[in-house]
Structure 1
């Protein structure tokens, strides 16, 4: 009691209490994501109006969607940059769902210019996180009738730069569930679940640097991941499983790293290395478009029909530039996933196996 009677100790106690209150208040605010919301939207409100009504001053805006199902009769288009779209999650599940109405032939969410075949300008610095996105895979059309260049994907990024797609659950898509196109670059695709597309789970079309990290991509009708031109990118720590064709279909992919992925139970190849096709019947490649200078390291291939499958022709092969093989498999493990490649003497060595190994199974063969 004598200590409290001393004015110096009373002042110290008051200051300590004030600091504690301020600290607790800051902690509560940071733990509450709603404190960061500039605009809140509830189920039943018009999502497109909410985005169109945001300030056009270029300052960052965060739009928060309450829990519930947002039933859509038309795609939602976000052309404004410097934006975060955030849903809510509950006990590991996505509590916010964007649901395209049954029978509507349309993508669900488009980032960028949706109204010109080739986007007129980039969309920059957009984050989409903590949402479930559901298309209607039962519709007959793969493309939107009014905009026939626009595929009926769950989420499309058109000429995006600095895009983050995180903690999304995307399913039941008539085309690819997630598509980036028209030279989108600096895109992070992280910790998403992508499944039950009528075509590919994730499609990267003419993509610049992209990071695909920690996703589960499974049970899609075609490939888990398909690439038509990809450069300077990373695909790491993903599960790519149970897809109807290939785990990864890589056409015209250069200077990329594929590491620590589990590639399992895909009907055809775990990784299909090929070229960009200019004619399909018979198949002819664009000149010099074969995937090259890619590093595959510490991936695990399990129970695919093939591990690596190489498809080349005279126009796009592994011999034109000479020298060592144009891709490398380093430390990969193959379980019941034999590798299949064309004759070395005709097309050159397309891939070298550096420390990769095959575990003993009845149907497997040694790499290379």
Structure 2
């Protein structure tokens, strides 16, 4: 596979073929994350001015889809996407040169893992009601207090992008984004949260007990947290489900193979209209989701992506993912319960897709407001 240093000078199609070949042999683990990063996957969407390869959003989504499809991994591509859109993207947009060197460069290179910490126990989709606070101490340094939960990559992250309230009143000016290293005084990382889906993605909680940060660690300036949040959500909602397309494609291919190979009553399953119709509906869901996501990626590459379109993409792809998984188990019948079919695991991933980066109901609200409702 092509090294990240020469990716700018390599035909992307050739690079993507190399990624597929490599991903088909990889296994879940820290070394796979580092290898994928060293070969350019994490840096695709980041502009060259920020240390990335500048290939764009469509290229990054194609790579995430291919990685998930060929590897069959669910959690790792999701975790990579979470870092790319909620950590790297706002860093590329708002960071100072020093912050790019200290925080963004190691994320792009895969020598550090990033986590975006916004969600709290009493403020799931309502991120503007955050209770975490940050105030200056007598020494002029910031002290963060509060707790965060459902932090993707939290248990293993080296760099945290944490939102905290620094003034009361309007959310537009009351939030600040802080860049915090894992070993920062006052940062306590909780136990990993068990979950039914997204195997391999690490989810956890944070406790902030006068966690120390300096002005040099503020992303976007004091009071700029809302802008950082909105920028992160615009890209995360649009593209967090790119790996799901790869998982759906893999599952469809294997389901078709199963339908052709298995016989009932002396006939292959693929000859029965009920099975054929299920597979066609699965193909329709995959095609529809893929068309929506890549049209959105092209909007992002053209700098015309807005929040309504991001929410529409997240809602549509997650809806089609769930429709796909409603059909999948019945292609296998009782065999769907066997781990090798991945039908149950994929269904859990589909259910989860309705809730992270804002629930489906929250996406509906944003879309409705865009329609003037």
TM-score tier by shorter-chain length is: under 0.3
Decide which structure has the larger Cα Rg and report it. Answer: 1
Instruction: Give the helix-richer structure, 1 or 2.
Output: 2
Return the TM-score normalized by structure 2: 0.26
Normalized against structure 1, the TM-score is what?
A: 0.26
The structure with the greater share of residues assigned to strand is: 1
